[in-house]
Amino acid sequence: MASLTPLSGTLGTAKAAHLLRRATFGTKQAEIENFANMTVTQATNLLLTAPPAPTPPIDPSTNQTWVFTDNTTQGTYRLYLTAWWMHNMMQSQTSAVEKMIFFLHTHFTSKFSVVRISASVYHQLELFRHYAFGDWRKLTVKMTYDNAMLRFLDGRTNRKNSPNENYARELLELYSIGKGPQIGEGNYTNYTEDDVQAAARVLTGWNVDESYQTIDPETGLAAGRVRVNGAGIPNQHDIGDKQFSAAFQNTLIQGTNTEAGIRGEAEQLIHMIFNQTATAENICRKLYRFFVNYRITDEIEQDIIAPLAQTFITQNFQIKPVLEQLLQSEHFYDADDTTEGDHHFGALLKSPLELFTQTLNFFEIDLPDPATQLSAHYTSFSRGARHFLPAMGMIPYEPIETAGYPAYHQEPNFNRNWVSANTIAYRYKFIQNLQEGTQLVGGSLGYELDPLPYVENATYFQDISDPVLLVQDLAKYLFAIDLPVERMDYFTKDILVDGLDLGYWSQLWLDYQLTSDASEVRSRLKGLINAMLQTPEYQLG
């Protein structure tokens, strides 16, 4: 059976690399080997500890941040914020915090183009960070009056006499309990159309505060506020009682007319939803699909999802114990004997974001540090990721629809939705551009993947002059599984030595040592990296 029993012993390279591919945005070989010597407990202790929050993004024209003051919508602030976000991802290395923040963004989706105000998006990201390993139920309460969300799903226009049910519907359908089978007119098993309307009424009377003066005492972050009249009395909240269906045990949420009461109603609503086991199960299913495999069989439902959901419930919706249990489990490492749905290594197509960050981090390509090279930091983003990611099918903070990036919800293909005939070609083109140091749109990228200094400086190569060992040492970290011998032969014999004798490469390497003429070995190595990374195998993580 599929098993949540913790894996015993130390991880070893393959399992450590698998864990880091799934739980981080990539790191270098030395860190993978560091994890290889750890037990799963040691590994998750390190992964699930958040480093200090990064300092906010800086506007280079003022050398100040704008995220507590400026609610204008200039596109440059979007660029700065996205660059800052990606820098955080790439810096997170062996912490899972940024992967969790990204996961939470895929779950509680917002689209930048709808929110439009970068400061509000910043506060939403920081809200994700605050609860990345914490209380998911509380995060859901806070999300309900998060400024970006109040804009994205129209909570700010949801008023007593004209309820707007946009957020209430997605709260139920996407953010918490999820839709069950439709079993009748307006009845989706887990909730009904009437529940959507009742939830919308509970959440009437909120507005954004884009002066960022309303600070949530629990998070210290800016939040939305209750709409009040000139005398400070709430005036847009529906004070009537809200009746929910049998799906929620006919819960009645009593109407209130004070600010505290209105906050209390939102909390009661979220607690009512989380009191249903289906909510914990739905969230655990999403976690599983994101971190392990999009295929969920009955066996996995029973042996993995159900006990994870129980952990989630008994731990009062703290997410960290659930992540620990999952990422430590024999199941995660294919070390159990699941009858079906096993072999998770390489079973998920990497997102464009993962392909980008994991490639740069593995090859230790350092991008400019905003602390010391602020404008170069923004330039490197606008020349690179800003074009590469959309070409590969992803615009950061801009999922195509409210349900999020299709890779994380669209049955039956899930992660396969990242690729089409077009986007797979751009994944390959990205590798080519990276090795040439060119932008997708032409011109210099400002950084490049030069494999020659990489292999020379790395200490893990057993013998660079041995073509078989060289390819083996790289493949061990670049691919999620051991590739068949003929594929390794292809990289070694057809590519590196170009169909010639294996000794050809050794001779080239020796010549390079003697003459310092790097052109030939660099060209061979670039050919090798192109051949290994412009493959379907490298897309799988």
258 to 317, contacts with other proteins by CB under 8 A? 293, 295
* Residue among 334 and 364 whose Cβ is closer to other proteins: 334
455 binds other proteins (CB under 8 A): no
User: CA 28 from chain center: how many Å?
Assistant: 19
Q: How far apart are CA 436 and CA 433, in angstroms?
A: 5
Return the beta strands (E) in 156-229 as ranges. Answer: 206-207, 225-226
Q: Considering only residues 42, 314, 316, 413, which one is a binding residue for other proteins as defined by CB under 8 A?
A: 413
Q: Considering only residues 480, 505, 509, 512, which one is a binding residue for other proteins as defined by CB under 8 A?
A: 480
* Residue among 28 and 476 whose Cβ is closer to other proteins: 476
Min dist. Cβ of residue 165 to other proteins (A): 5
Instruction: Name the helix (H) or strand (E) containing 252.
Output: strand 252-253
* Residue among 423 and 506 whose Cβ is closer to other proteins: 423
In sequence order, the 6+-apart residues with CB closer than 8 A to the CB of 513 are none
Cite the DSSP H helix spans in 7-93. 12-23, 29-36, 40-47, 75-92
Instruction: Name the helix (H) or strand (E) containing 311.
Output: helix 306-314
Number of neighbours of residue 104 by Cβ within 10 angstroms: 21
9 binds other proteins (CB under 8 A): no
144 binds other proteins (CB under 8 A): no
Number of neighbours of residue 307 by Cβ within 10 angstroms: 17
SS3 (DSSP) at 215: strand
SS3 (DSSP) at 278: helix
517 binds other proteins (CB under 8 A): no
Which residue's entry shows tokens 């199941």?
Answer: 331
Question: What is the chain's percent helix, strand, coil content, to nearest 5?
Answer: 55, 5, 40
* Residue among 357 and 435 whose Cβ is closer to other proteins: 435
476 binds other proteins (CB under 8 A): no
Min dist. Cβ of residue 448 to other proteins (A): 13
Nearest one of 114, 198, 203 to 156, comparing CA atoms: 203
Min dist. Cβ of residue 471 to other proteins (A): 14
205 binds other proteins (CB under 8 A): no
Using a 10 angstrom Cβ sphere, with 0-12 exposed, 13-18 middle and 19 or more buried, the burial of residue 487 is middle
Is the preceding peptide bond at 412 cis, omega within 30 degrees of 0? yes
Name the CA radius of gyration of the chain, rounded: 25
SS3 (DSSP) at 318: strand
Min dist. Cβ of residue 255 to other proteins (A): 19
Residue count of the chain:
541
Q: Considering only residues 16, 83, 419, 474, which one is a binding residue for other proteins as defined by CB under 8 A?
A: 419
* Residue among 165 and 354 whose Cβ is closer to other proteins: 165
Min dist. Cβ of residue 259 to other proteins (A): 21
Strand-pair category, 252-253 with 225-226: unpaired
From 7-15, 36-44, 297-305, 523-531, span contacting other proteins (CB under 8 A)? 523-531
Min dist. Cβ of residue 106 to other proteins (A): 14
Q: How far apart are CA 42 and CA 38, in angstroms?
A: 6
Q: Considering only residues 103, 274, 426, 461, which one is a binding residue for other proteins as defined by CB under 8 A?
A: 426
User: Which of positions 375-404 make contact with other proteins (CB under 8 A)?
Assistant: 393, 401-403
Q: Considering only residues 278, 376, 452, 540, which one is a binding residue for other proteins as defined by CB under 8 A?
A: 540
* Residue among 160 and 271 whose Cβ is closer to other proteins: 160
SS3 (DSSP) at 94: coil
523 binds other proteins (CB under 8 A): yes
232 binds other proteins (CB under 8 A): no
From 54-62, 379-387, 447-455, 484-492, span contacting other proteins (CB under 8 A)? 484-492
Q: How many residues of this chain interact with other proteins, rule: CB under 8 A?
A: 80
* Residue among 271 and 526 whose Cβ is closer to other proteins: 526
147 binds other proteins (CB under 8 A): no
User: Which of positions 427-446 make contact with other proteins (CB under 8 A)?
Assistant: 428-429, 432, 435
User: Which of positions 172-201 make contact with other proteins (CB under 8 A)?
Assistant: 173, 179, 181-186, 188, 193, 196
Residue 46's identity, in one-letter code, is L
Residue 16's identity, in one-letter code, is A
Q: How far apart are CA 346 and CA 352, in angstroms?
A: 15
154 binds other proteins (CB under 8 A): yes
Torsion of CA 477, 479, 483, 489, to 10 degrees: -70
SS3 (DSSP) at 228: strand
Q: Considering only residues 26, 57, 163, 370, which one is a binding residue for other proteins as defined by CB under 8 A?
A: 163
Beta bridge partners of 404: 401
* Residue among 67 and 347 whose Cβ is closer to other proteins: 347
Min dist. Cβ of residue 235 to other proteins (A): 14
Using a 10 angstrom Cβ sphere, with 0-12 exposed, 13-18 middle and 19 or more buried, the burial of residue 477 is middle
417 binds other proteins (CB under 8 A): yes
501 binds other proteins (CB under 8 A): no
From 95-103, 423-431, 445-453, 466-474, span contacting other proteins (CB under 8 A)? 423-431
From 7-15, 278-286, 419-427, 446-454, span contacting other proteins (CB under 8 A)? 419-427
User: Which of positions 72-111 make contact with other proteins (CB under 8 A)?
Assistant: none
* Residue among 100 and 392 whose Cβ is closer to other proteins: 392
Instruction: Name the helix (H) or strand (E) containing 424.
Output: helix 421-436
224 binds other proteins (CB under 8 A): no
166 binds other proteins (CB under 8 A): yes
24 binds other proteins (CB under 8 A): no
